[in-house]
Amino acid sequence: MSSKKSDFSKVTHVIFDMDGLLLDTERLYTVAYNNVLSQFGQKFNWDIKIQLMGMHHLAAVQKVIEDLSLPISVDDFSKQLKGHQDVLMPEAKLLPGAEKLIRHLHASKVPFALATSSGQEMVDIKTQNHKELFDLFGHKVCGSTDPEVKQGKPHPDIFLVAAERFPDKPKPECCLVFEDAPNGVTAGKAAGMQTVMVPDEHIPRDMTSHATLVLKSLEEFKPEEFGLPPFKC
């Protein structure tokens, strides 16, 4: 919204976040958390949610328990949450512009990877109705279960691991990160990468100012602004 075309550097590789960026799962996370929190008479809100978005699963659960002073263990909360997620997440829909951009990069032979804080099992559940599309990714880094991703977003680990796993090992500055969450943008920036942010409308403007470019939807992205092949039409 505020950045100019001339601000951007050319990139050769792309790294995508998944939740809230490609798949409409953030809405479903809110339902799942509220289902667990209702037994304590508590409700999930955006102030808490913004802080959890992008964190590793157990760290996120620990934080919500501490912040709301809940009388439940991390393990029990996590098990209950997973029960709700297993039911809700298979219904996850693609967000506008996601499929077109992924297919375009694939057809144009631009290398791209997934860097999600979800664990491997949850990624399989969320993508089960979009398998053919997600199989187009060169590789997928599943932060919560990948031993090389020591710390979750906002730390840069996941994006550095994702870059390192491309066969030609691009430098961080050659990678463009797509993110929806403030923690994810912080992580991408800390990794030395440019970041395109597509934030939920609940995220305050001042929590988007560290992104290289902020878009309302992936449909607005113009690949040529970052030296990538343009859409044909």
Ligand X SMILES: O=c1[nH]cc([C@@H]2O[C@H](COP(=O)(O)O)[C@@H](O)[C@H]2O)c(=O)[nH]1
Applying CB under 5 A, which of residues 11, 13, 19, 32 lies at the interface with Mg ion?
19
156 binds ligand X (CB under 6 A): no
| Interface segment toward ligand X; rule CB under 6 A; list 52-60, 93-101, 188-196, 219-227 | 52-60
Nearer to ligand X, 46 or 231 (CB): 46
47 is catalytic: no
Report the C-alpha gap between 105 and 179 in whole angstroms. 17
**Which residue is associated with the tokens 């996590």?**
78
Phi, psi of 147 (to 5 degrees): -65, -20
Cα separation values, 145 from 58, 128, 140, 142, 232, Å: 10, 18, 12, 6, 38
Which does residue 125 touch among ligand X, Mg ion, none (CB within 5 to 8 A, set by kind)?
A: none
Say whether residue 17 binds ligand X (CB under 6 A).
yes
Amino acid found at 14: V
Residue 157 near ligand X by CB under 6 A: no
Cα 146 to Cα 58, 75, 103, 133, 212, distances in angstroms: 13, 19, 26, 22, 27
Q: Does 181 bind Mg ion (CB under 5 A)?
A: yes
**111, 154, 184, 188: residue in contact with ligand X (rule CB under 6 A):** 184
Active site residue 76: no
Stretch binding Mg ion (CB under 5 A), from 19-27, 37-45, 70-78, 203-211: 19-27
Give Cα 162 distance to the centre of its chain.
Answer: 13
Q: List residues near Mg ion by CB under 5 A.
A: 17, 19-21, 180-181
Q: Give catalytic residue positions.
A: 17, 19
